Amino acid sequence: HCSSTSVCLVEDKPVLAEPKGTTQNFFEESPVLPTSSFTMAEDVQAALDEMVPALKDLQDRGVFSSNEIHQIVDRRRSTEYDVRRSTNPRKADFLRYIQDEMNLEALRQLRTKKIQQEERERERKEGKKDDKKEDVAGMEKPLGDKHIVKLIHNLWRRTLIKYGKSDVGLYLQYAEYCKEIKAHAALSRILAEALQLFPHQQGLWIEAASHEFFVLGSIQNARVLMQQGLRVFSHAPEAQQDLWIQLFCLELHFCERLSARSTILQGGASKEDGKNKETVAGDNDDDDNAKSDRHKIAKLVYKNAVAAIPDSVSFRLRFWDQCRLFSDTERLQQEIVESTRTDLCKDNAEAWMAWALFQWERKQKRTEEDKDKDDGSDEEEEEEEEQEESNSQDGSTKKRSAGSIASKGSASKKLKSDSGDEGDAWSVLDILRRATQELPTEEMYLKAVRMITRYIATLQQEEEDEDEDEDPDVALGFELLETLFDEAAKTQFFSADLVMEQTLLLQRLNKKEAAIKCLEDFAEQKPVTEALKVWIYLAEISEKGPIPILTKALGGADMNHPSYYEVLLHLFGAKLEAQDDSNLLALFQKLVLLTPGFLPISEIEEPIFGIPHAPNACLQFLRYLRSKGDTVHARKVYRTVIFESSLGNIFNEFDEDMMVTFVEEAVALEQDSSGKKADKRNALVRLLEEASKLFEDTELGRKYQERLREVKQLGKYKVWVVKNDGKSLSPAHHWLLLSLFVVRNSTQRGSPPTNEGALFLEDTTMGTGGSANLLNEKFNKFQVVFLRRDCSGAINRTPIDFGGLFDGLTDEDKASWCIETPGRHQDENVAPVEFLGPSMPAQRGYCSFLVQKDESAYRNTLDRLPLQNPLSGIHWHYPSSALWLFVGRNPLGNLNLRGRPEHTDSITNDGTWHFQYSGQKTWFLRPSQQLLDHFKKYNVATNCTASTRIRVECRQGDILCVNTRLWFHSTAIPAQETKSISYARDFYLKEFEAGRGDNGQSVEGQGIMTNLDGLYAVENIEEGTVIFSEKDMPDCELHSSTNPNCEVVELDDGTSALVSMRSIKAGEFFCVAESDSEDDASGDEEELSVEHNHCTVVPGI
């Protein structure tokens, strides 16, 4: 009842405006209300009255218009009633209120910044000096600028009072907001209150200490908070680990801050008195002691932490890991590693490895220092020689030089003596050797072998880069590896991992025969359950081939163990890869029987032979049998999976997309099979019935039910075929027109069916145009028509060398080369000619290019293509000499290769027809809102909604005519033996005037196509509209132009937003101003991530 009133701003006094159409007082028209309602209404009105001055200030300064102020007041009034209701107030209402105000504040900041920019620009043009910048710091913000933030704080306080005692997440959200707006005082109060209510939340103690130190600069308060947190968790030492680590890091940060201050002060002193450099250089001992003293508190923290948790190696190593992130902590690192080695090395492999790694890093650092010292000493010697020659008559100068050299020599000796402690006496190899002697376990041997291998490889790489002599540790490392492998082979813990490391080492030394012998010996001695890795790797590298080795492994494996199942998958993949049909069906039967016993389905991480799991094995087997034309066994495979076992449900739960692909392969098998029409129809009916049950209560299930009804409907009606010269045409020579939307109408028996789901059309090569007229009619109605070729051999295809075609194009056409799957599947450095070549390597990819600039190449290519029109009797207008070609490679054994994300195209033509020249391609279509409006306007009877998704399987010879401006679309390349090649042409329908689109707009100048992504407006946008912010930017780059229509504006919180600089018409691309340099251009490119209401991702046009 309160939404019918509004607050008016008149001379700073709020009054209630009477509702339109009545002269009665608001309270007089309302029914009798309880007293509590009057009280709540008064409270709400009082709260709104307090907002009047601030809102009037915002209106007077032009930040918000009068209409916007009224909308703000109405929204606040409604929300205030929601959060103040006495019965069942909801936390969601408070959070929604807060979010609305935060959005309003972001808009205020944006508009305020724009107003200030316009004001400065106006003053600059008027020649006024900009003296305001000097007074900005001392000026108080206007009342309106502070109002919304103050209200947000008030709302958070009300929310916390009501719900904060049981929800720590609310405190964390409020704290995050305070950090964003830099409200440090409020943040301190929030964290203190949260700690009182939730003292057992470790993150709160860490957050509070971090705020005290990094923001407020108080190390004392930060230490107190961390110590209080440790006392709270004194009963649970394990829960103290994060607090100890953070307290340790806090002290290291404090040391870094002190070190930075000291460096600044010493740097200033050195500039004033540069003559004392030698004295400073000679005091290295004092510097080291100073650094050590700086870390006294950090050492004390570590000592107390170890006393509280004494037996955890990983806990101690976390301190070392943190030390490695800070400078000048070598001594502290050494003490941590030494304490770990002394206390825990006896029975812990991690402690030994930490000691070895520490010595390795120290060696690397000393090597780098020695190189720098050698380079510096060479330069100093040259300078001293020059100085001695120039000052040969000056004896005093010689004395000073001698004194300087002596001081350097004494310093270097001290460094060497300092480094002669017990830890330095041990090299990396000595430590690892001693570790395996004192702790002879499988874990220790394996870790030692792996570190030695990495150590040797690093030394050899350094020798190659620096062109130096071989480090003695390389030869010693190889000897130690041989010793460790020999010792491990004599023990019980000689594992498959150790054998794999030994094999890799032998292969690295070019001893392949010895590596294979090593694998064979281990495989013979150990059961398959322990030697599974060895068998698989042996099958990969053996010259005998994988099939005999995997067959032998399968024979020796335990059928009840998962290793048997994994070997079976590898063997099945190897046989498919080698096209070895022997026992292949028997292996499939084993796979079917065993899969339910090894649930859940696990995926092989690196399937050497292309079979990662059982669903993929069944799909590849079905495709393999189809490619061989073995319909009988292929039918048995899909019936076993779908009809005769539970694998269909199991596979569907594991990967629904793969199960859909399997079902579609089965449907395609039945459609392409030879035999009686009744048998094919019955097989399709049964298959679609099972598919409907498999995907029951899902969108897929409903689609399969629809397809099932269509198949059954075709069986009830006589198929009417247009006749020529009184003779019926064979369906094998016809185009099959499949409308993607089915209109169900009642028909009379014996009359032609009105079911538009499937009609055979006349072969238009016979001379009539009825099919062309029907095609135009259907396309005008649905904006998409799918033409399926019953007999792909009816079209003559001249082999085309697409690689040679591309190589002969102009540079402008070559520049249109585009990778449809960037950064995901394809090597972007692959040469287009190589990718388009006739061979079918393992390379996966999906690319496209245009032929339009070279008229001769365009005509020659078009003449060689099998079709220049979808139907020979149709007369469509082609506004430009542009031919699109799409090529995809996705060899068998891979998942579907996805193209660009779902998108629409910025086009003015009526549509595009795509001809599938070879292979297969899957289209996914979804109607846009404009298309749904089209259906409604022209009374097109469909059950299509904005979420309806249509899947179209295009095989060789098929044509898809689609308006890509009205249909959201994406594509995928299924795994197949051949390349997927299609070409496309943009067209206008015959009944539209040439040169004009379907909306009557001129298309002149639209003939030049581009193969780029962009963003365009799908509706008219007013000036000053926030198109999208940094958080919801679409996944596409912005174009640049000398006549931009948008600009990127930075908000006060540091985020960016794209704002329209002028009115933008629907269909116009968004573009920003060009940068002055390449660096600016690269910096202005915004990485976009999600779809937005105002814009659409536009691949291709």
Q: How confident is the model at residue 895 (pLDDT cuts 50, 70, 90)?
A: confident
Q: How far is CA 272 from the centre of its chain?
A: 55
DSSP H/E element including 628: helix 614-628
Q: Who contacts 200 (Cβ-Cβ below 8 Å, separation ≥6)? A: 232, 233
Residue 131, both tokens? 């003296």
Radius of gyration in angstroms for the set of CA atoms belonging to the chain, rounded to a whole number:
39
DSSP 32: P
pLDDT at position 982, please? 93
Contact between residue 637 and residue 646 where contact means Cβ atoms under 8 Å apart? no
- pLDDT tens digits along 236-273: 888 889 999 999 999 999 998 888 888 888 765 443 44
Question: Does residue 556 register a pLDDT over 60?
Answer: yes
- pLDDT tens digits along 138-172: 567 888 889 999 999 999 999 999 898 889 999 99
DSSP H/E element including 577: helix 562-578
Q: What is the mean pLDDT of residues 885-898?
A: 82
- pLDDT tens digits along 351-368: 999 999 998 988 888 888
* CA-based nearest residue to 614, from 583, 590, 635: 590
pLDDT at position 467, please? 67
Residue 352, both tokens? 């030994």
pLDDT at position 721, please? 30
- pLDDT tens digits along 369-390: 777 776 655 556 666 666 655 5
pLDDT at position 598, please? 87
Burial class (CB in 10 A: 0-12, 13-18, 19+), 634: buried
- pLDDT tens digits along 736-754: 333 333 322 223 333 333 3
771 or 941, which is more confident? 941
Task: Give the other-Cβ count within 10 Å of 500's Cβ.
Answer: 17
C-alpha to C-alpha distance for 909 and 963, rounded to whole angstroms: 8
Phi, psi of 201 (to 5 degrees): -95, 105
3-state secondary structure 416-465: HHHCCCCHHHCCHHHHHHHHHHHCCCHHHHHHHHHHHHHHHHHHHHHHHH
Pairing of strands 1039-1041, 1071-1073: parallel
Q: How confident is the model at residue 404 (pLDDT cuts 50, 70, 90)?
A: very low
C-alpha to C-alpha distance for 1034 and 1031, rounded to whole angstroms: 9
DSSP H/E element including 1056: strand 1056-1060
Burial class (CB in 10 A: 0-12, 13-18, 19+), 539: buried
945 or 758, which is more confident? 945
Q: What is the mean pLDDT of residues 725-730?
A: 32
Phi, psi of 789 (to 5 degrees): -90, 120
First vs last C-alpha separation in the chain:
52
Largest CA distance in the chain: 127
Burial class (CB in 10 A: 0-12, 13-18, 19+), 257: middle
Residue 465, both tokens? 């880069």
Per mean pLDDT, which range of 109-118, 503-512, 868-877 is the poorest? 868-877
Contact between residue 1014 and residue 903 where contact means Cβ atoms under 8 Å apart? no
Residue 985 β-bridge partners: 913
From the DSSP assignment, how many helices (H) and strands (E) are in the chain? 40, 22
- pLDDT tens digits along 783-832: 888 887 643 334 555 678 888 888 888 888 888 888 777 544 444 556 78
The residue type of 728 is S
C-alpha to C-alpha distance for 3 and 16, rounded to whole angstroms: 12
Residue 290, both tokens? 């100073």
Q: What is the mean pLDDT of residues 1056-1082?
A: 69
Q: What does the mean pLDDT of the chain come to?
A: 76
Pairing of strands 967-973, 897-898: antiparallel
Phi, psi of 1086 (to 5 degrees): -100, 125
Question: Could you write out the DSSP letters of every residue in 94-148?
Answer: HHHHHHHHHHHHHHHHHHHHHHHHHHHHHHHHHT----HHHHTTTSPPPHHHHHH
